[in-house]
Amino acid sequence: MRLTKLELLELIAEKAKGKARILIAIAGAPGSGKSTLAEELAAQLADAAVLPMDGFHRDNAELEQMGRLHRKGAPDTFDADGFAELVRSLRSEEEIGYPTFDRALDKTIPKGGQLAKAVRIVIVEGNYLLLDTPPWNRLAAEFDLTVGLEVPLSVLEKRLIRRWLDQGMSPEQAAARAGKNDMKNANFVIVKSVKPDVILSTDDDPH
């Protein structure tokens, strides 16, 4: 079903009633606005927190050995098994540490984030939460609600170029990085993801 952001907030709040903890997936292509939406939802829901998938990027040294550094951000450049294990552990009401990703440093920060015991709504955001290819295809069943973001490819490309410009790249470098890597990942997400429970209406785009 297609909802506005306000309707989505109401649905999540309703699902959380009487539950110790629920898991919400926010999925979409790179540049679709997952992080922004997740943070906005968490800010407006009681006892909610965001857990990003990006902390499971493999280290650059490992990607170099794999010959995959040039495709960083593709599905196989993440520790998918480690991420799936973390998602399964989120049903626990214990405090949970998780890795984060520093985009400026281009590296993972082990135990960079903490999920407090009091958190009742965990909003997990990432590109590949709804992929239909293993091992990612084990994830969708773990969530109480899955949300997909739909953004036109032309808009995604502009956002991704802007992302690299903001990291100090030249216009030529930014366009090349977006076109040769990010947009390939975006197309893969769009083609290979299963249908979410909810699609956020494009007229309620978080950007």
> Is the separation of the CB atoms in 26 and 34 below 8 Å?
yes
> Is the separation of the CB atoms in 192 and 133 below 8 Å?
yes
Sort 60 into a burial class: Cβ within 10 Å, 0-12 / 13-18 / 19+: middle
Chain-centroid distance of CA 131 in Å reads: 12
pLDDT tens-digit profile of 74-104?
999 999 999 999 999 998 878 999 999 998 8
SS (HEC) of 59-118: CHHHHHHHCCHHHCCCHHHECHHHHHHHHHHCCCCCCEEEEEEECCCCEEEEEEEEECCC
**What pTM did the predictor assign?**
0.90
The CA distance from 166 to 169, in Å, is 7
Domains with residue ranges and CATH for the chain: 2-198 (3.40.50.300)
pLDDT tens-digit profile of 124-141?
999 999 999 999 999 999
